[in-house]
Amino acid sequence: MRLGVIDVGSNTVHFLVVDAHLGGHPLPAFSHKIELRLSESIGPDGRVDKRCAQRLVSFVGECRQLAEDNGVEDTFGFATSALREAGNGEAILERVRTETGITLDVLAGPDEARMTFLAVRRWFGWSSGRLLVIDIGGGSLELAAGIDEEPDVAISLPLGAGRVTRERLLPGDPPEPATVKRVRSDLRAAVAAQVRPLLKAGTPDRVVGTSKTIRSLARIAGAAPSAEGPYVPRSLTLEDLSDIVRRVRDLSAAQRTQLPGVSVTRAPQLLGGALVVEAAMELLRVERLDICPWALREGLILRRLDHIAS
C-alpha cells in the first residue's frame, strides 16, 4: 500500500510518500519538505509565533492535496519536541485537525527513542545482537538500548543540536573558547546524570547513530555522500568526532558550509550537535558509531504497517 507520513520536526517539516507492505522494505516514492524552524519561532512566552503556526497549517494542507495526487491510501503525521513543549502546541494541533482534517500525534520523548530503535533494528537485523542507539534531532537527544525490537531502555534528553545552540548559549560566530568549554562541561554533566540505565543494559554488540546531524558529522569525517545510496557502510569514530569539534569551534557558520555535507540551515547548530554526540559517545564508552539511514520516521512507518496487518 502507499503511505504518506508528515514529520514535524524542530527544523523541518517533511512529507514522505512510501510504497510499503508488511515484511517489505518501504520504498520512497515522493518527498516534499520545508525549513520551518519551528523551535526558533518559540518566543520568550514559550509559544510558537502566529506566522510560523500559519505556515505549518498551510503546509499540512498542501500535504493532504499531494497525498491525494500521489494515490496515498493512508496519511498520518507526528510532531516531536518543539510542538510538545510549546505553550500553544495543543491549539496549533487543533487548528491543523480542523483546517486540514489531518491529526498530528505528539510523541513523548521515550517514544521517539523507541521508534528510532525499531527502525535501526529492522535496518541492521537480528545479527547485530544487542544495540545501543544514539539519535539527535534539533530539540532532543534520544538514547536506547536492547536486544529485541522493543528497547530495554529508552531515554530522551532536552539536548538537541538546535536547543543546545540557543538555550545553552553558544553566542558568537564562532563562540568564544571559554563559552565552548563551559557548554561542553554542562553537556557532560547532563548526559552523565542519565547514562546509568544504559550502561547497566549490557555491553552493546553494535552502536548506531542516526539523524541528519550525525550523518553530516560522518560526512565531514570522510563517509560516502548520500548520492552513493543508503547501502554504503558509513561510520563515525570518536577520534574523528573530537577532531571535528576542534576544527568546527573556530569556524563561522558561513565557513562551516564549506565542509562536506553541511547545509546553510544546519551550519549554525553543527558545533552544538557535535558537542552533544561527543559527550554521549565518551560517557557511554563508545569508540565508533555505525550510521543508519533510517530513524524515527521510518520506525513509525514500520509500526503503522504492523498495526494495519494485525
98-127 pLDDT tens trace: 999 999 999 999 999 999 999 999 999 999
pLDDT at 44 over 90: no
pLDDT of residue 39: 86
Helix axis angle for 270-283 and 177-192, nearest 10°, is 40
pLDDT of residue 24: 79
pLDDT of residue 310: 59
Contacts of 62 (CB under 8 A, 6+ apart): 15, 32
Asked if 269 and 170 touch (Cβ cutoff 8 Å), the reply is no
CB-facing half-sphere around the CA of 208: CA atoms within 13 A: 30
The gap from C-alpha 148 to its chain's centroid, in whole angstroms, comes to: 21
pLDDT of residue 20: 84
pLDDT at 222 over 80: yes
pLDDT at 181 over 80: yes
> Mean pLDDT, to the nearest integer, of 235-240?
98
Q: Report the SS3 class of residue 189.
A: helix
Residue type, 288: R
CATH annotation of 110-296: 3.30.420.150
pLDDT at 173 over 70: yes
Q: What percent of the chain has pLDDT over 70?
A: 99
Beta bridge partners of 50: none
Domain 2-106 and domain 110-296 have a common topology: yes
Q: Domains of the chain: which residue ranges?
A: 2-106, 110-296
pLDDT of residue 152: 97
pLDDT of residue 56: 97
> Mean pLDDT, to the nearest integer, of 142-164?
96
The model's confidence at residue 307, banded by pLDDT at 50, 70 and 90, is: confident
Asked if 202 and 154 touch (Cβ cutoff 8 Å), the reply is no
Cell of 104: 498530528
Q: What percent of the chain has pLDDT over 90?
A: 85
pLDDT at 306 over 90: no
Any idea what DSSP says for residue 264?
A: T
Instruction: Say what the pTM is.
Output: 0.95
Superfamily of domain 2-106: ATPase, nucleotide binding domain (3.30.420.40)
Average pLDDT, the chain: 94
Q: Report the SS3 class of residue 22.
A: coil
pLDDT at 166 over 90: no
> Mean pLDDT, to the nearest integer, of 235-250?
97
Long-range contacts of 223-232 (CB under 8 A, 24+ apart): 223/291, 225/260, 225/261, 226/261, 230/293
pLDDT at 309 over 70: no
In the structure, how many helices (H) and strands (E) does the chain have? 12, 11
> Mean pLDDT, to the nearest integer, of 256-277?
94
Provide the H-helix boundaries in the chain: 50-69, 81-85, 89-100, 109-124, 161-167, 177-192, 196-200, 212-220, 238-248, 253-256, 270-283, 296-309
